[in-house]
Structure 1
């Protein structure tokens, strides 16, 4: 199995993960947005990779400005997940302290 097929197949378990997270209603909202933001990263990366191959004849990883632009969405996703869980921890600590 090549990497592109594996990449496409990995989307289904991730969508299931998102479905369960959303349905549980226990994930901090900002973190959930971050997990969904990862789909935006994927949606941006695929056309960027195609553009890099067609326009430059190179893999996306070898076209720095394009690769870096796509990676911004991954970074944003990670920041949102961390901030969401950080806020949830702080809120929980505040609840414990106020009891």
Structure 2
């Protein structure tokens, strides 16, 4: 059985492939694409924050509210960008037709 950390690390490869195809297709709204890339920032911040929480507080990241909340705010921002990007594409498409 794979550990959750191993599974998390392995999940990055399909996601990077997803980003590659989205970028290459040139059909994804720019703001949504930025949001999908911002998810990588969330991952990049979450990993060191988790290590810091373990070393400094002796806890997992989810149990250290100030670190966990800060990291999760990046996830929220990423989601907002994706939604706004696709919303704008829908509005633009309706206007064009």
TM-score in terms of structure 1 length: 0.97
The aligned counterpart of 2:72 is: 71
The aligned counterpart of 2:90 is: 89
The aligned counterpart of 1:3 is: 4
1:52 offset after TM fit, Å? Answer: 0.2
Task: Give the secondary structure class of the aligned counterpart of 1:58.
Answer: coil
Task: Give the secondary structure class of the aligned counterpart of 1:27.
Answer: coil
Q: Distance in 2 between matches of 1:31 and 1:79?
A: 9
The reply to whether residue 60 of structure 1 matches residue 73 of structure 2 is: no
Structure 1 unaligned residues grouped into runs of 5+: none
Q: Distance in 1 between matches of 2:18 and 2:49?
A: 25
Q: CA RMSD in A?
A: 0.2
The aligned counterpart of 2:29 is: 28
**Stretches of 4+ aligned residues off by more than 4 angstroms:** none
Q: Distance in 1 between matches of 2:84 and 2:19?
A: 18
1:23 offset after TM fit, Å? Answer: 0.1
1:86 offset after TM fit, Å? Answer: 0.2
